[in-house]
Amino acid sequence: MKDDPIAQKRREFLKATAAAGMGAALAGFKPLFGDQHQAPGESRSEFKVAPIPAVRIGFVGVGGMGSDHVQNLLNIDGVQIKAICDIVPAKVERAQKWVVEAGQPQPTGYSKGDHDFERMCETEDLDLVFTATPWEWHVPVCLSAMKNGKHAATEVPAAMSLDDCWALVEAAEKTGKHCQMMENCCYDRIELMTLNLVRRGVLGEVLHAEAGYLHDLREVKFSSEGEGLWRRAWSQKLNGNLYPTHGLGPVAQCLNINRGDAFDFIVSVSSPTRGLHEYAIEKFGPGSAQAAEKYVLGDVNSTLIRTKLGKTIILIHDTNLPRPYSRINLVQGTKGVAQKWPDRIYIEGLAAEPHEWDDFEKFAAIYEHPLWKAIASKGEGRGHGGMDYIEDFRLVHSLLKGEPLDQDVYDAAAWSAMVGATCESVSAKSKPVEIPDFTRGKWKTNPPLGIITA
């Protein structure tokens, strides 16, 4: 059967844009000491704007995650979805149908080529542009949104190079518009409960954390649709941690990164690359085109992060080897330790037995996060156990109320900077690489993220 011409066109387009995006990412790998962006600028403490009566949204990219966000947002009060953009017209039409079925007017559709999001940003009367596109398009969409007076929200990671991280920060500061990276794992149950424990001082002073994303994505990367159209290509060009924020985001909040502390420097090392090649031989045969592909991404990347206050983080990335899904999430304080995957906790003086783990449920009645208690039930069945709904709710709530976002542009930049920094470190035999201070010193006085609520 002949290939669908639309699908073929999409694959060719994504392959070309991935190559362009990776070229830009590689161009961003350069020594950061004395970086040109470090001069005093218009950095903002508690980045916030005036309240918005109703959040008018234009969406770019309505495939897998994009579709989930659209459906979440249609179930949140105060949201109007006014425009839908995707290079596949059928996906635009599907999302338009969902909006109409939810009782809203049909949003304007944009599907005239790969840059039609620019026309949307220029012409539509919107408050927020939300993108869930392949990685290389996150920065172009967000910059176009802010340039045209719209807030921006993007799926993870926000940027794939250090220069692009700075581009987002500088655009947000220049325009006064939000740019949030939608890190859903900050809103999962155990991560929220751990943050609550930290804020209440139960774990004492937090000195160390461990974080990671460990997910066998071989089948996904070789798929003929969805992320398979573009994600595998990054493994052919970059060697580092390509997807750091799921693990890093939640522990960064516990360590008050950009709000009392900041990343200082990292060292990173990668294992050999074996997983994708061996999978291709087994799945498609040793003589297949897939088996002939060359990969540079080490199957396991391990990174050690030091903060300005001397705290430490171990960060792991592993997506090419056979394993059950897990995310490393451990927060160690002077009074105890909380861990997810597996879920367990030890608090000195409160543990049932010295040196023995307790179940998290033992402490849930007292330390369950109020945000989870308030709205987790509304997110049931809406993606990733409800945390996707909570992150979308919090973004809308903050815009409606004119409150600082839980994750601002400085967080998007600092967490995403690990992509470029780890690749730079690995390529130079694990040399230390400085993480830029995107806040330009404001981390010293910015207040920590509080106990956010609904």
Q: State the pTM of this model.
A: 0.92
What is the C-alpha separation between 411 and 438, in angstroms, rounded? 9
DSSP 271: P
Residues whose CB falls within 8 Å of the CB of residue 302, separated by 6 or more in sequence, listed in order: 268, 269, 270, 314, 315, 316
Other Cβ atoms closer than 10 A to 277: 17
Contact 432, 424 (CB under 8 A): no
- β-strand pairing of 55-60 with 79-85: parallel
Task: Collapse the DSSP code of 276 into the 3-class scheme (helix H, G, I; strand E, B; otherwise coil) and give the result.
Answer: helix
Closest CA to 303 of 271, 272, 277, 326: 271
Dihedral pair phi/psi, residue 7, rounded to 5°:
-65, -40
What is the C-alpha separation between 208 and 302, in angstroms, rounded? 15
Task: Collapse the DSSP code of 92 into the 3-class scheme (helix H, G, I; strand E, B; otherwise coil) and give the result.
Answer: helix
Task: State whether CATH 3.30.360.10 applies to domain 186-373+407-444.
Answer: yes
Residue numbers in the chain where pLDDT is lower than 70: 1-45, 383
Q: Where are the domains of the chain?
A: 8-182, 186-373+407-444
Dihedral pair phi/psi, residue 189, rounded to 5°:
-60, -55
What is the C-alpha separation between 391 and 398, in angstroms, rounded? 11
Residues whose CB falls within 8 Å of the CB of residue 128, separated by 6 or more in sequence, listed in order: 55, 56, 57, 58, 145, 150, 151, 152, 153, 399
- Calculate the CA 143 to chain-centre distance: 17
The strand pairing partners of 339, in sequence order, are 330, 344
| E strand segments, 86-233 | 108-110, 128-131, 151-154, 179-181, 206-214
Kindly state which CATH superfamily the domain 8-182 is placed in: NAD(P)-binding Rossmann-like Domain (3.40.50.720)
The strand pairing partners of 110, in sequence order, are 85
What is the C-alpha separation between 38 and 180, in angstroms, rounded? 21
Which pLDDT score, from 0 to 100, does residue 258 have?
97
Contact 133, 21 (CB under 8 A): no
Which pLDDT score, from 0 to 100, does residue 6 have?
43
**Category of 283 on φ-ψ map: left (φ > 0), alpha (ψ -120 to 50) or beta:** alpha
Sheet holding 336-340, edge to edge: 344-347, 336-340, 329-333, 206-214, 312-318, 300-307, 263-270, 433-434
> CA quadruple 337, 339, 342, 343: dihedral positive or negative?
positive
Closest CA to 371 of 250, 254, 253, 453: 453
- Calculate the CA 231 to chain-centre distance: 15
Read off the amino acid at residue 393.
Answer: F
Q: Matching CATH topology for 8-182 and 186-373+407-444?
A: no
